[in-house]
Structure 1
Amino acid sequence: MITLVRRAVAVCALGAALASCATSRPAQQPPRPAPSLSPAVPSSPPTLAPGPSGLTPVFRNGPRTAGRTVALTFDADMTADQGPRARSGERFDHPRLIAALRELGVPATVFMTGRWAEEYPDQARSIGRDPLFEVANHSYSHYAFTGDCYGLPTVSADLMRADVERAYAAFRRVGVPEAMPYFRFPGGCYDRRALRALAPAGVTAVQWDVVGGDAFATDAAAVARQVVDGVRPGSVVVLHCTRSAAPTTERAVRTIVPELRSRGYRFVKVSELIAAGHGRG
């Protein structure tokens, strides 16, 4: 028996069969270095799958049952032929609105025309590089993609995709790093021909389910009331980021945001709504 014990102690001393050595304590292991983490690979922005026959998909609102989220979207409109009006002093930007969104901490999606980005490159770059916002495509020229769309000039079907790609090129030139693969039709006007023409561009068309009514409005309280009364969980609200055409928007937003927050709503960007579900209205 003594011989067996001596053998067991010798085995423990050599560090082998520790589990069978009841009288010895396991050797303390040095701490392991933390595993190095590889840089996170950025994921692609969420989009919808192509619609029937491969048409451009259309997104109108997020899911109604995934919590009280709402996306404020702002169209930065400027048509290709409005340069002379801008040079004469008309303002198609709205820096006080963007400042208000930053002050209130409200994420938002700005649907920008390429012509707007060229006219206001510093603002476009500032918005595009601010993580609070995301920049999406509102065409280059803000010409309509259908006939009879609020009196806008029209883009022929063979030039529709080129107009969208020209806007993305304008964003890159002014320093917007990653414009989203989302497109809003000027005036919200589209048909099957337009959806077919844009399919190769790989964008998701983004509409809305709440009209802010701020275009050419003079009563900020009325705009705010229309938005607040119309919002439901998952809503996409369309407003504007142009001083000359929507002068009351900043004041309306300062009412809309606290009121919706008091009702339990959380503001998100369009990309978060798309990621949450494929609502198409």
Structure 2
Amino acid sequence: MITSVRRVTALCALGAALSALAACAPHEATRAPLPAPSATAGVSPMAGPPTLAPGPAGVTPVFEHGPRDRDKAVALTFDADMTADQGPRAARGERFDNPGLVAALRELKVPATVFMTGRWAEEYPDQARAIGRNPLFEVANHSYSHYAFTEDCYGLPTVGEERMRVDVERAYAALRKVGVRDAMPYFRFPGGCYDRRALKALSPAGVTAVQWDVVSGDAFATDARAVAQEVLDGVRAGSVVVMHCTLSAAPTTERVVRSVVPGLRARGFRFVKVSELIGAAGGRA
């Protein structure tokens, strides 16, 4: 129970800070069936990425983790968060990027998936482009605005149903504009909050929603060792770990990665991108 509360509290704090609002209410995400994504409208075709098995039409597929019965593969994922109205905070010097973290992943040769908001890409175009062109990494969509797709999502502002698909497509456009040419058709809901209404609204965008099964708790954490232990305790074969690429909101993440990576490798785990887990899952999320 204590661990669950800590996880919710960490995500709650991150959402509240990113939205600059005081309200903070936990939201229980629901799982959906696993249909195949439809063709993307308004987004450049992206050849090759695996998708999940077909299911009921008209609902975005949701992926949480890879197979548990295969080799010990784990995907580290990093949310590059920045809400649409935070430009003035960045201008005053707040760091929504984390170059040290990206450098550590390169140094350790760790494949990773970065879920990037369009606003973050606009603020840090050189970094976005460098991440997108590095074969270690894959870039996926974390919305343009980082507004929530449900009500009561950790204090985040909300985007209306009629704007959900537009927000996702605007993020892809922002990524293309800064030079990320091969963004994956994967989407992470801001705050991880979604419902069936959101899944239906995004179905025409042709994305797979990617959640996680291990919460690192790096949001506003000051004890890197405690965060690293949270990850080490939670990871299983096929796990998707959520962390953050936002220095001001998650200042310990680089140190966490430098501890977790050798720890998991010593236990026989190998690091993969989300696309490899989805390909291995074959619809068995």
TM-score class, shorter-chain normalisation, is 0.7 to 0.9
Query: Aligned letter for 2:122?
Result: E
CA deviation string 1:140-198 (max 9, x = no partner): 00000000000000000000000000000000000001000000000000000000000
Which residue in the other structure is 1:195 paired with? 199
How does the TM-score come out when normalised to structure 2? 0.82
Alignment of 1:40-189 (within 5 A): 44-49=48-53, 51-189=55-193
Deviation for aligned residue 1:54: 2.4
Query: Aligned letter for 2:280?
Result: A
CA distance in structure 2 between the partners assigned to 1:228 and 1:103 by the alignment: 20
CA distance in structure 2 between the partners assigned to 1:277 and 1:268 by the alignment: 13
Deviation for aligned residue 1:47: 1.4
CA distance in structure 2 between the partners assigned to 1:57 and 1:50 by the alignment: 9
Which residue in the other structure is 2:214 paired with? 210
Query: Aligned letter for 1:139?
Result: S
Q: Residues 61 and 280 of structure 1 are in contact (CA less than 8 Å); yes or no, is this contact kept in structure 2? A: no
Q: Residues 61 and 208 of structure 1 are in contact (CA less than 8 Å); yes or no, is this contact kept in structure 2? A: yes
- Count of aligned pairs: 240
CA distance in structure 2 between the partners assigned to 1:47 and 1:215 by the alignment: 30
CA distance in structure 2 between the partners assigned to 1:53 and 1:74 by the alignment: 30
Which residue in the other structure is 1:240 paired with? 244
Unpaired runs of 5+ in structure 1?
A: 1-41
The answer to whether the aligner puts 1:270 opposite 2:270 as a matched pair is no
CA distance in structure 2 between the partners assigned to 1:252 and 1:159 by the alignment: 36
Which residue in the other structure is 2:258 paired with? 254
Query: Aligned letter for 2:195?
Result: D
CA deviation string 1:127-151 (max 9, x = no partner): 0000000000000000000000000
Which runs of structure 1 show a deviation greater than 6 angstroms over 4 or more consecutive aligned residues? none
CA distance in structure 1 between the partners assigned to 2:113 and 2:225 by the alignment: 22
* Change beyond 3 A, Cα 1:226–1:177: same
CA deviation string 1:199-231 (max 9, x = no partner): 000000000000010001000000100000000
Which residue in the other structure is 2:41 paired with? none
Deviation for aligned residue 1:57: 0.3
With 48-57 and 239-248 compared, the bigger mean Cα shift is at 48-57
Q: Secondary structure at the match of 2:115?
A: strand
Query: Aligned letter for 1:97?
Result: L
Query: Aligned letter for 1:249?
Result: T
Unpaired runs of 5+ in structure 2?
A: 1-45
CA deviation string 1:4-32 (max 9, x = no partner): xxxxxxxxxxxxxxxxxxxxxxxxxxxxx
Deviation for aligned residue 1:280: 5.8
Deviation for aligned residue 1:66: 1.2
Alignment of 1:18-29 (within 5 A): none
CA distance in structure 2 between the partners assigned to 1:159 and 1:167 by the alignment: 12
CA distance in structure 2 between the partners assigned to 1:172 and 1:270 by the alignment: 20
How does the TM-score come out when normalised to structure 1? 0.84
Deviation for aligned residue 1:52: 2.6
* Change beyond 3 A, Cα 1:122–1:101: same
Q: Residues 53 and 282 of structure 2 are in contact (CA less than 8 Å); yes or no, is this contact kept in structure 1? A: no
Which residue in the other structure is 1:23 paired with? none
